[in-house]
A = this chain, B = another copy of it.
Amino acid sequence: MNTWMRLMANDGSIVFGRIENGYLHEYEGLDQPVPTGAVLSLRTLTPLAPCAPGKVIALWNNFHALAAKLEKPVPAHPLFLLKPAESVIGSGEPILRPAHYAGKIAFEGELGIVIGKRCRNVSVEEAEASIFGYTIVNDVTAAGVLNENPHFPQWCRAKGFDTFCCIGPTIISGFDWNSARVVTRLDGVERQNYPIADMVFTPAQQVSLISQDLTLEPGDVIACGTSLGVGSIGDGATVEITIDGIGTLSNTLAATRAGTQAVAAVVGAA
């Protein structure tokens, strides 16, 4: 197992590498990463989302317990939507309420798969070897947008707003997801605590099946879907999602809105 992070230096440059004893050993590339020789103290660096996905594939109905509660049959193929690259933020960054939306915003604590190699029509065995590692995802949803139009469920829009895909804090390569749990706390109160082994499609099955549809690129993330305990985030509330061995992903829903002025204020305060 190795711990990987992506961080910003004081000069605005972005570094990626392996973490050891408080230092980042810089690497280039996710497909057979190569050390650059640079070693940087973490104290001088600001954490970012641990990868920069071109796309995030978010699964729906991938846990037996949630399927049973919703009285839906488990699917025969992964059911997914796409979240855009611009929706991604790292741990500690604020979730911004869309400027024209006053409704419910929900959290979903999930395991995230980080792709290491380009995958197209890969077998389950090849898929396993194509996974760089695992991270944590908060698949944020503007619940009121989802079914606002009775003729077209707006999955991409409801889950695709800027800042609605929290990823981090680290990527763990060689992580044993099978014995891990996802624990989500809202302002310190436990709301989700489910075993990842309850998944319908395992990570390697997801990568293999999705790669029959569309090409997965290094850095792309698959959010594996959530289970019981999803709930609403009040303005100013903090969602902490912990997977032992990966860490804790923490994000607060900003009390201000995501209009131009609100975004400027948030950026100015950072």
CB distance from A51 to the nearest CB of B (A): 15
How far is it, in angstroms, between the C-alpha of A217 and the C-alpha of B85 when the chains are bound?
10
Instruction: Report the stretch among A15-23, A155-163, A194-202 that lies at the interface.
Output: A155-163
Least distance between A102 CB and chain B CB atoms (Å): 14
Chain B residues within 8 Å of A149, by CB: 75-77, 79
> Does the CB pair A82–B160 fall under 8 Å?
yes
When distances are taken between beta carbons in the complex, the residues of chain B under 8 Å from A77 are 148-149
Q: Is the interface of A mostly helix, strand, loop or mixed?
A: loop
In the complex, 14 of the A-B residue pairs with CB atoms within 8 angstroms, ordered by the A residue number, are A54-B84, A55-B55, A61-B151, A75-B149, A75-B152, A77-B149, A79-B149, A79-B152, A81-B81, A87-B214, A99-B121, A99-B212, A100-B212, A162-B215
A55 touches B85 (CB 8 A): yes
Q: What residues of B have a CB within 8 angstroms of the CB of A86 in the complex?
A: 214-215, 217
Chain B residues, CB < 8 A from A121: 99, 258-260, 263
Across the interface, A160 reaches (CB within 8 A) one of B61, B83, B157, B213, namely B213
Q: How far is the CA of A120 from the CA of B163 in the complex (A)?
A: 13
Interface string of A72-104 (1 = CB under 8 A from B): 110111011111111100000000001110000
- Interface positions of A from 193 to 225, Cβ below 8 Å from B: 212-215, 217
Alpha-carbon separation in the docked complex, A112 to B55 (Å): 21
* Across-interface contacts of A157 in B (CB, < 8 A): 79-80, 213
A154 interface residue (CB < 8 Å to B): yes
Q: Is A60 close to B, CB under 8 A?
A: yes
Contacts of A231 in B (CB 8 A): none
10 extra interface residue pairs, beta carbon distance < 8 Å, beyond A61-B151, A76-B149, A82-B84: A54-B84, A54-B85, A75-B151, A84-B214, A86-B217, A120-B260, A120-B263, A121-B263, A157-B213, A161-B213
Q: Does A153 contact B (CB under 8 A)?
A: yes
Alpha-carbon distance between A79 and B54 when the two chains are bound, in angstroms: 22
**A236: min CB distance to chain B, Å:** 22
A81 neighbours in B (Cβ, 8 Å): 81-82, 155-156
Which chain B residues border A120 with CB–CB below 8 Å? 162, 260, 263
